[in-house]
């Protein structure tokens, strides 16, 4: 275990120095096998790397990425923002409320927190500045709200955890709805409070029912997107991997023939951008799988289970330890590699303590989502700060109370499984 801890700290150190994550993982893996008293062949690491990206079910990841890119290019994000603005923009703190609600709507399309932050932030941050919001608050809100993109289904990290843990993607997707609504709800209340306390945004005029209905009608094809995908999975019409292919087809249909904002000339650029994103994700998955393979061969998961058993932790103490560990880990790692690295370690312990694997996957996803807006290396934080041209320190200050609110929601997700997992029970 001492060698494992040293190697893990070495990996964290070189990653923080700016070494690309794939290389940091591979360097740490090769350093471990050369320092270990056991004998390993280099080919074993390479084969585990290739094996990590070979499973057929991982096709769902690049396909959901392509579908999200097409929906953004096809005008879906703009229509969702317009609908949210007409429905909620009259509230005090209205643009903040619209930013959060738009992120919740867009979460059902993209499956990616960074894509959510980029799409919503590019539209909402300039408008928030005109209403008197500071750059730092606007950046902080977009960064935090964007993470709902991987909690409300479809969610790429949930797909990864489901296949790693051998649990149902359908059940994980169902479990994400209530936590996503809770995270969005507390942020909306915070925006309304600050709108009054700081006098930033008195809200706009309420729109007429005719205008609201027209905006809703225009948004219906986009809002049906998660219904088509999830309905097909729950109804047994197609598998999650096939659902990702259906998502691409549906996104093309909406963008090209319904909204008519997507031209065939745009498709090569979308595929190129999606390929770059997908390749990055898959390389990280492969490198993380190689690292996890060496850890498994060294018996780290078994040693960890034995250690936790020796501590005689209760189920709830174990979940608290998971929360604290993943909140720290999420600062340094993106959700996908963090899940690939930690899920094999935590699942055996969780099952032994009677923790529902679906509940564990939900907790881990929510934990690691919070890491995306936590300094210094949060993905949505960097995107939002760049769009807003804000100062990192000031943005971090505005993040602090939102982080506290999200921790409260995380506590509800962790310690009230009967509430947050209720939709799963309805379909079991």
User: Is the bond preceding 418 in cis, omega lying within 30 degrees of 0?
Assistant: no
Kindly report, residue by residue over 331-367, the tens digit of the pLDDT.
767 788 788 878 888 888 888 888 999 999 999 999 9
Cβ–Cβ under 8 Å, residues 137 and 125: no
Highest-confidence segment of 109-123, 204-218, 271-285, 313-327: 313-327
Please compute the mean of the pLDDT values over residues 362-384 and round it to a whole number. 84
Is the pLDDT at 379 greater than 90? The verdict is no
What does the chain come to in residues?
428
Weakest-pLDDT range from 232-236, 283-287, 395-399, 412-416: 232-236
DSSP structural state of residue 58: G
User: In this structure, what token pair is assigned to residue 388?
Assistant: 């807003």
Is the preceding omega at residue 154 within 30 degrees of 0, hence cis? yes
Sign of CA dihedral 321, 175, 160, 79: negative
**Which pair of structure tokens corresponds to residue 352?**
């032994």
- Say what the pLDDT of residue 66 is: 83
Indicate whether 105 pLDDT > 90. no
Residue 398's pLDDT band (cuts 50, 70, 90): very high
**How does the average pLDDT of the chain come out, rounded?**
82
Confidence (pLDDT) at 231: 77
Cβ pair 116, 107 in contact under 8 A: yes
- 122: tokens are 């590019």
Residue whose structure tokens are 């564990």: 360
Count CB atoms within 10 A of the CB of residue 54.
10
**Domain around 279:** 2-427
Q: What tens digit of pLDDT does each residue of 239-298 get?
A: 777 877 888 888 888 888 888 888 888 889 988 888 887 787 788 778 877 877 777 777
Give the count of domains, the chain: 1
Encode pLDDT of 293-331 as tens digits.
Answer: 777 777 766 666 667 667 778 889 999 989 988 888 787
Q: So what's the pLDDT on residue 18?
A: 67
Q: Is 334 helix (H, G, I), strand (E, B) or coil?
A: coil
Which tokens hold the place of 262? 């997507």
Helix (H) or strand (E) holding 409, with range, is: helix 392-415
């Amino acid at each position: 275990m001492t060698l494992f801890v040293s190697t893990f700290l070495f990996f964290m150190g070189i990653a923080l120095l700016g070494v690309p994550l794939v290389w940091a993982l591979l360097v740490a893996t090769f350093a471990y096998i050369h320092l270990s008293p056991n004998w390993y062949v280099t080919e074993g690491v390479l084969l585990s790397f290739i094996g990590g990206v070979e499973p057929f079910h991982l096709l769902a990841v690049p396909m959901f990425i392509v579908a999200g890119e097409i929906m953004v290019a096809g005008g879906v994000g703009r229509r969702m923002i317009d609908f949210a603005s007409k429905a909620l923009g009259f509230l005090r703190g209205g643009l903040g409320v619209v930013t959060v609600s738009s992120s919740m709507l867009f979460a059902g399309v993209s499956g990616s927190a960074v894509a959510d932050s980029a799409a919503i932030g590019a539209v909402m941050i300039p408008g928030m500045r005109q209403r008197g919001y500071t750059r730092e608050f606007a950046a902080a809100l977009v960064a935090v709200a964007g993470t709902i993109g991987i909690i409300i289904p479809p969610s790429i990290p949930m797909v990864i955890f489901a296949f790693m843990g051998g649990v149902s993607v359908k059940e994980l997707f169902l479990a994400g709805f209530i936590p996503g609504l809770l995270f969005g709800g507390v942020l909306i209340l915070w925006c309304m409070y600050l709108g009054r306390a700081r006098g930033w945004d008195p809200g706009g005029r309420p729109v007429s029912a005719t205008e609201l209905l027209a905006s809703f009608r225009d948004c219906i094809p986009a809002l049906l997107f998660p219904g088509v995908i999830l309905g097909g999975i729950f109804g047994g019409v197609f598998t999650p991997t096939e659902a990702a292919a259906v998502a691409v087809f549906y996104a093309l249909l909406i963008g090209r023939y319904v909204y008519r904002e997507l031209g065939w000339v745009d498709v090569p650029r979308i595929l190129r951008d999606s390929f770059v994103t997908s390749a990055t994700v898959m390389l990280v998955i492969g490198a993380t799988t190689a690292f996890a393979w060496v850890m498994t061969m060294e018996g780290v998961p078994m040693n960890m289970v034995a250690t936790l058993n020796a501590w005689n932790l209760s189920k709830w103490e174990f979940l608290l330890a998971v929360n604290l560990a993943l909140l720290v880990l999420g600062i340094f790692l993106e959700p996908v590699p963090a899940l690939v690295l930690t899920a094999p370690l935590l699942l055996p312990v969780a099952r032994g303590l009677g923790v529902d694997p679906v509940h564990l996957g939900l907790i881990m996803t929510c934990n690691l989502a919070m890491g995306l807006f936590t300094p210094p290396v949060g993905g949505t934080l960097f995107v939002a700060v760049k769009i807003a041209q804000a100062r990192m320190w000031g943005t971090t200050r505005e993040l602090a109370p939102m982080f506290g609110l999200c921790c409260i929601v995380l506590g509800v997700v962790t310690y009230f499984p009967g509430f947050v997992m209720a939709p799963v029970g309805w379909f079991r």
